[in-house]
Structure 1
Amino acid sequence: MENYTYTKLRERPELKQAAAEWFHSKWNVPIEAYLDCMDAYLSGETEYGWYLCLDGNKIVGGMGVIENDFHDRKDLAPNVCAVYTEEACRGKGIAGQLLTIVVDDMKSKGITPIYLVTDHTGFYERYGWEFLCMVQGDGEPDMSRMYIHR
């Protein structure tokens, strides 16, 4: 049985560079964009955070919360973003645990509801998310599914 550790970046700020590089390797968003968001979170400029799952010192899952996840509905904020679990670690509850941590952390700060954009169907519903509407992703030819967690 794996012994995963879940952490908020504020609890482990020394992981900032590694986390930015890891997210960049998954989503190809510039490292600087992640570092800017992480710096704003670590400095207390925003409460929108970054969350990681570690297997020892290796990042195997993560997600963040940002104002808008590159879609046309600027009124639907904040957004969970960059949701990723390493393929070898999928099916072990990592994403579900991270989603629960994010929702609880945001609610503890009075930030609710929160949103996320995805092409998945059936996954997020297991964790209390509800389909809200379709949104147009920036530069995307097709509409994507927008979910809400109240």
Structure 2
Amino acid sequence: MAKRQYKNRYGFEIEPIRDYAQALEKASCWFSRKWDVPEEAYRESMEACISQQTGIPQWYIVENEEQEIIAGAGVIDNDFHQRKDLAPNLCALYVEEDYRNQGIASRILDFARRDLSRLGFSKLYLITDHTEFYEKCGWDFFTMVCCDGGEESRMYMAETR
């Protein structure tokens, strides 16, 4: 399938992996390096995204003009916490340091919310300790959750649109 691009006023493109399967290897490697999770885990999740097109998981990347990934995020059923009923979860949001403070992360969050709405989901959750950023982006504190490692984390919720 041809790559479908979603440009915004800043010129960067948000690319759903489901529409850009040729980026699967590059994207799974990039996410693995950023989050120290085995590349195979990302590859399997992205392959599921590509094969089913709708539903969960979903993955998004942003590339610069040299087609290097500079940002990305995913949406999965559960982001390693014990509240399996609070799904789907935004995960792995990351922007390369040289590209921060340009609105990329907030645009990815907005894009994911709109995309999940089109896919039939009314809410999206995430766990984080970066509270102020997500609150500025329209996310609301929802509850504390126990993560799989035993630590407590703040869970945020946002309505999709």
- TM-score, with length taken from structure 1: 0.94
Identity %: 44
**Residue range with higher mean Cα deviation, 118-127 or 13-22:** 118-127
Q: Which residue of 2 aligns with 1:20?
A: 28
Residue ranges of structure 2 left out of the alignment (5+ in a row)? 1-9
Q: CA deviation at 1:3?
A: 3.6
Match of 1:149 among 116, 138, 158: 158
Q: Structure 1: which 5+ runs fail to align?
A: none
Residue pairs, 1:92-131, within 5 angstroms: 92-131=102-141
From 70, 75, 84, the equivalent of 1:65 is 75
1:114/1:122 CA distance change after superposition, 3 Å: same
Pair 75,24 (structure 1): closer, same or farther in 2 beyond 3 Å? same
For 2:92, the equivalent position in structure 1 comes to 82
CA deviation after TM superposition for structure 1 residue 55, in Å: 0.6
1:144 aligned partner, one-letter code: S
Letter in 2 for 1:146: M
Going from structure 1 to structure 2, the CA distance change for 1:83 and 1:33 (only over 3 Å counts) comes to: same
Q: Which residue, out of 28, 43, 59, partners 1:35?
A: 43
CA RMSD of aligned residues (A): 1.6
Q: What is the TM-score with the length of structure 2 in the denominator?
A: 0.88
Task: Say which structure, 1 or 2, has more relative contact order (CA 8 Å, 6+ apart).
Answer: 1
1:128 to partner: Cα distance: 1.6
Deviation by residue 1:20-64 (Cα, 9 ceiling, x = unmatched): 000000101111111111111100175221011111201000000
CA contact (8 A) 1:8 1:52 kept: yes
